[in-house]
Amino acid sequence: MRFGVVVFPGSNCDRDCGEVLTLLGAEVEYVWHRESDVSGLDGLVIPGGFSYGDYLRCGAVAKISPVMDAVRTFAAQGRPVIGICNGFQILLESGLLPGAMLRNTSLTFQCKTVDLRVETTRTPFTRELAVGQLIRLPIANAEGNYTIDADGLLSLEDNDQVILRYVDASGEATEQGNPNGSVGNIAGISNIRGNVVGMMPHPERASEAILGNTDGRAFFEAALNLAS
């Protein structure tokens, strides 16, 4: 399976994602932001980092890069796309996912491992997890406070688009378990079709035993196993 990792000026998690995919047997292609054709790929990762230095808003400049037209076409074809951290912000700014990101309610950069609860298995990236499963993944963001209006939130819930929630150690979606103030403790969502996923936690940073945690590995394995 050939996976593309999109690289913008300021991306810094592209090699991390590529390394995990390679270890799992994928053929990885790094796609520079000026490229306009991703048709030969089976899946796409938009990695974390600080695309264009996070000037204006996070992802606001990246959304007009030439590659994003190709990403939109790729997504419209029902093929798997995942945006991680800054990648999630880019998907929001590009209109591929609903909602927006605000500054964390703490107004500080949050860099730690958090507890999460899996909310759906209907996406290419969560299909091998279990609803209600508790996992732990790292976060690293200053603008991870996901927001959407009341009608939008209702639509997300009704269409099973919330994929992950921040929870406390007991698995409850409490204020104490929410590291950035996201509405509904939301840590990740999908589009209605389910093939486009955005998440603030970093699964690539928890996919190898040498890192002390492999809870993130299943997100990549699930997408790669689609072809098997």
Domains of the chain (ranges; CATH) run 2-227 (3.40.50.880)
pTM of this prediction? 0.96
Rounded-to-integer distance, Cα 185 and Cα 177, Å:
8
How do strand 43-46 and strand 100-102 relate by DSSP bridges?
A: unpaired
Beta bridge partners of 116: 135, 166
Provide the CA 81 distance to its chain's centre, in angstroms: 9
- 145 and 104 Cβ atoms separated by less than 8 Å: yes
Known active-site residue 111: no
In the prediction, which pLDDT does 227 show? 64
Known active-site residue 33: no
Letter string b/e over residues 161-187, b meaning 16 or more CB atoms within 10 A of that residue's CB: bbbbbbbbeeeebeeebbbbbbbbbbb
Rounded-to-integer distance, Cα 216 and Cα 206, Å:
5
Known active-site residue 85: yes
In the prediction, which pLDDT does 228 show? 56
User: 58, 85, 93, 119: which is the annotated catalytic residue?
Assistant: 85
Token pair, residue 26, equals 């994928």
Other beta carbons within 10 angstroms of residue 107's beta carbon come to 8
pLDDT by 10s per residue, the chain, length 228: 999 999 999 999 999 999 999 999 999 999 999 999 999 999 999 999 999 998 888 999 999 999 999 999 999 999 999 999 999 999 999 999 999 999 999 999 999 999 999 999 999 999 999 999 999 999 999 999 999 999 999 999 999 999 999 999 999 999 999 999 999 999 999 999 999 999 999 999 999 999 999 999 999 999 999 865
- 38 and 74 Cβ atoms separated by less than 8 Å: yes
Q: For 203, what's the count of Cα atoms within 13 Å in the CB-facing half-sphere?
A: 30
Other beta carbons within 10 angstroms of residue 213's beta carbon come to 17
